Amino acid sequence: MWRILADGWLYPLFVVGASRMREVDAAWPEVGARLHHSVGAWPVLVDDTTEVLEVRPRESLRLRARAWPGGEAEVTIRLVPEGAGTRLVIEEDAVRGPGLLVPRPVRHLQLRWRNVETLRRLALLAERR
């Protein structure tokens, strides 16, 4: 699972809303490295970045995802060994911008749906590798 997260070019395959990757910093997933992505659907695409804030290889990745004018979110992905496999946990919330205007319970419902689908896509990728 870590190999998938460590390959920045794969993010549009599993992150809901990410439509394409424009560039991946060579240092990805080291702290400070960025993914240069586009969010949305053609013809309305927003170009922005996601930056690594903290990394513990094969354990966790904390990111600052930007999609202005929508705002910014912090995303933590944790890999938890479970039997012969790995359980992924995603924690995400808005930290800047208009997303903060949405009441927290509503925001979390929307993010839960999004992240459940993200986890489904990650599982499909991992099972086929």
**Per-residue pLDDT tens for 75-112?**
999 999 999 889 999 999 999 999 999 999 999 999 99
Structurally, how many domains does the chain consist of? 1
CB 73 within 8 A of CB 92: yes
Q: What is the total residue count of the chain?
A: 129
pTM here is 0.91
Q: What pLDDT is stored for residue 68 in this prediction?
A: 87
Q: Where are the alpha helices (DSSP H) in 1-129?
A: 2-5, 11-14, 104-127
CATH code where residue 15 lies: 3.30.530.20
3-state secondary structure of 100: helix
Domain that includes residue 8, residue range: 2-127
